[in-house]
Structure 1
Amino acid sequence: MSDLSSTTLQRAPSWAASLPDELQTPCFIVSERGIVDNLYATARACGGVERLMPHVKTHRAGWVVKRLIREGVTAFKAATVAEVAMVLEAGAKHVVWAYPTVNRAHIRTLLALAHAHPDARVDALVDSAAGVAAWRLATNGAPLTNLALLIDLDAGMGRTGAPIAAATLQLARELATIGCFGGWHVYDGHIHDLDSAARRTRVAAIVEKVAALTRAADADGLSTKLIAGGSYTFDLWPRTLADFVSPGSWTYSSAQHDLELPALGWTPSAYVLATVISRNSTTATLDAGSKAISPDKPLAERFRWDGKIIMMSEEHVVVEDTDLAVGDRVMLLPRHACTTAYLYPSAMVLNTEGSWEVREQLGSRR
C-alpha cells in the first residue's frame, strides 16, 4: 500500500526533484532554466537572437515575455488581441498580431492598444481587399503612427493568406496609399516532414516564390520586410530574405518536438503533474483528463507513455501500467505544449535561482 504522506514522483526530469509535496493536481509545471536554454539553442539555429520573433501562443505568459526580453528578444508574434495586450504590458516594443481579421471589435481593440503604447510598434495582418477595407473603415482615414499592416501570404497551408503572386502587390499598393504598409508575413506550418532534407527542399520552393514577389515589391518602392517560418522551418529561411523568423514551440518543447526535431537541442521544459487516484491489475487512473493535457491530439498521442492510453474523460485518464501505486505523482510530457499551457491560468515554475513559485498566465482568456 502506498504511503500517501510521502508520494513517489514518477517520469520526472531531474530538475523536478524538489517539487513541493502538496500541490493540487493536475498542475502545470515549468522550468525557467529550460526556457532560457531553449532560447539559446533556437537563436543559434537561426543565426542570432535578433532574428527571433517568438510566437507567444505556446506559453501565453507575461513572465516568459519579460524573461525573453532580458535575454535579447525584441519582437513577438501573437494569435489574439489578449496576447498582444499581454506582450505590450510585459514591455515589448514590437508585436505582430498574426491573425487577419475583419472583426471591427478586434480591430478597434488593437488600435486602442497601439494608442496606449505609443513607444511600441504594433503590426497586424491582412490578406484580402475586404481586410484592407475593414481597417480603412476602422481608422476613418486617420494616420496610423505606430501601427502597420502586413500582407499575409499563403505558402500552401490553405488556411489564411493571399497568393504569392504579382496580383497581390495591389493589396500592398492600397495599404501604401494610406501610409500603413509594413511588409510581408508567411507561415509554412504545413511543412513538418521528419526528414530535414525534405523540409529544406519544400522551403526552398517557397523562398523562391517569395523572393520574386519581394523583388517586384522593391521595384514598386514597397516594403520588403518579411516575417517567415514556424517551428519546423525557421532555421531554413535565409537571412537575406527573412528579417524575422517566428517559431514558438521551442519555448517549452514537447513530446512531439523532442522526438521529431532532436537536432535543434530543445529540452522539454513543461509538464503536467498528475496523481494516481485508482488502479487495478493492469491499469492506473490519473487525475489528468482532456481538460488537463493536449486535448487537440488523438487520444493515443496526448502525452508520452510507454503503454497505451486507454481512455480519457474530462477529469480522468486510464493508462496501461503495472508499477504505479495510488497516491504516486506522475509528470506527463504533453504532445502539444501550446494547447496544454492554454488550459492553466497559472504555472508552478522552478525559477533560475532554484526556487519554486506560482506564476500567472493568460490560460484560456482570449
Structure 2
Amino acid sequence: MTDVSIDARYQQPDEQVSTPCFVIFEDMVLRNLKRTAEACGGIERLMPHVKTHRAPWIAKLLMAQGVGAFKCATPAEVEMVLAAGAKRVTWAYPAVSPANLARFLALARAHKDARLTGMVDSEQGLDVWKAQLSAEDDNVDIRVDLDPGMGRTGAPMSGVALGLAAEAGKFARFAGWHVYDGHIKGDRETRRRQVSEIAERLSGLQASLHADGVVSDVVAGGSYTFNLWPPEVARYVSPGSWTYSSSQHDIELADLGWEPAAFVLATVVSVHAGTATLDAGSKAVSPDKPIPERFRWPRKIISMSEEHTVVEADDLKVGDRVFLMPQHACTTAYLYDNALVKTSAGAWQRRQQLGSKR
C-alpha cells in the first residue's frame, strides 16, 4: 500500500482507518487562528463562525487561545458552543420559526451566565420575538440584520433598519447591527473599496442611533472581508473558513497565509487504463460544489456518484490512500460526526463533531 500525501506537512495516519475519513491537523488550525487574529487587529475582534467546523473541541481550543465570542447558524451550533463554555454567542439567522426561537430561548434560560444574541430583519420576525421573549430573558438581546447588497437576508440599510432597531429596543436590549457581505469577491483593492462603501453607509445608521442615545455595535464581514472592516465601525468580525481553509481559499486568499487543515482520506478501490476509482463520492466531500471542482486533484475529476469518484491517474494502485483537499471545507465537515485529528502533541485521536445535526 502506498500513502499519497499532499506534501510533507501532511503525514497520513499509520493506523488502519475506515475510509472515507475526515482528517484534521490541529497545528494548522492554531496557526490559522494566529494569522486571522493578526490580520484583523487582535483576537478580541474575532467572533468566529462555527459553521465551518461544528466541533466542540475546536470551540474549546479557540477559547483557550483567547476567543471570547462565537457566531452560529443553527440552534444545534448554539447548544454546542454553550456546552463548550462560551459566554457570548450570536445566532446569526433571522428567527421567524417559533419552534426554533423557543429552542434558542430555552438554551439562554439554561445558561444564565452567558449572553445570547438573536437576529431579526423584518416586522414579522419581531412579532415572533415579542410573542416569546419574557422578563426572565435578561441575558438575551437582539441584532438587526442588514443587507449590504447580497440580497439574501437583512433589512435595507435605511430608515427601515432604524425602525426595526427602535421597535426591538422597546421590548428587548438592542445590541446593534449584523452585516454579512458574502457577495464581495475579487482582488483585495476591489474588496476594500466595496467594504469602505458599506462601512460609510453603516456609519450613517450608527450616527442616527447615537444621536438618540442608543448604544450599539457591529458584527461584520466574512472570509473575504474580515480584515478590511475598520475597527472604528465593526467591533467584531466573523470569518469562519479560516479554521480549515480549503482548496478555494488556499488560492483566492493566499495572502492570508491560511494552511489547509482538513482533508478527506480516501482509498483507491479500482484502477483502469488512465483512471482510478476512489471510495469518496458525493456523500463524502464538498456536496455543494460542481463535480469537477469538489476537491483539488492534479488532473481531471471524471465522474462522481454517491460512493465513488473516478479521477484521471496513471500512478495509483488498488489500496493506495490519498488526501483530498475539499473545495468547501464547511459542507464537507457537515458530512461527518467525527474526525481523525492529528493533535499538536503528534498523536492521532478521534474527536466528535455535530455532523448534520441542526
Q: Distance in 2 between matches of 1:118 and 1:350?
A: 35
- Does the alignment pair 1:175 with 2:159? no
Give the structure 1 partner of residue 182 of structure 2.
189
Identify the range of structure 1 (272-281 vs 211-220) with the bigger mean alpha-carbon deviation: 211-220
TM-align CA RMSD: 1.0
State the TM-score, normalized to the length of structure 1: 0.96
Residues 1-366 of structure 1: matches in 2 within 5 Å? 7-17=1-11, 19-139=13-133, 141-142=134-135, 144-193=137-186, 195-366=187-358
The 3-state SS of whatever aligns with 1:279 is strand
Contact 1:101 1:125 in 2 (8 A): yes
Q: Deviations over 1:79-124 (max 9, x none)?
A: 0000000000000100100000210111111101001100101101
**Structure 1's 13 and 115: CA in aligned 2 closer, same or farther, altered over 3 A?**
farther
Q: Distance in 2 between matches of 1:46 and 1:136?
A: 36
Structure 2 unaligned residues grouped into runs of 5+: none
Give the structure 2 partner of residue 3 of structure 1.
none
Contact 1:176 1:222 in 2 (8 A): no
Q: Distance in 2 between matches of 1:357 and 1:167?
A: 50
Q: Distance in 2 between matches of 1:20 and 1:345?
A: 22
Q: Distance in 1 between matches of 2:38 and 2:214?
A: 31
Q: How many residues align?
A: 358
Q: Distance in 2 between matches of 1:165 and 1:207?
A: 13
Partner letter of residue 113 of structure 1?
L
Q: How much has 1:142 moved relative to structure 2?
A: 2.8
Q: How much has 1:143 moved relative to structure 2?
A: 5.0
State the TM-score, normalized to the length of structure 2: 0.98
Q: Distance in 1 between matches of 2:246 and 2:126?
A: 37
Q: Distance in 2 between matches of 1:40 and 1:251?
A: 10
Contact 1:173 1:222 in 2 (8 A): no
Q: Deviations over 1:129-164 (max 9, x none)?
A: 11111000012x535310101000001110100001
Q: How much has 1:192 moved relative to structure 2?
A: 1.7
Q: Distance in 2 between matches of 1:210 and 1:118?
A: 31
The 3-state SS of whatever aligns with 1:241 is coil
The 3-state SS of whatever aligns with 1:36 is helix
Structure 1 unaligned residues grouped into runs of 5+: 1-6
Q: Distance in 2 between matches of 1:18 and 1:106?
A: 41
Contact 2:5 2:11 in 1 (8 A): no
Contact 2:147 2:156 in 1 (8 A): yes
Partner letter of residue 122 of structure 2?
S
Q: Percent identity?
A: 56
Partner letter of residue 190 of structure 1?
H
Q: How much has 1:334 moved relative to structure 2?
A: 0.2
Partner letter of residue 325 of structure 2?
L
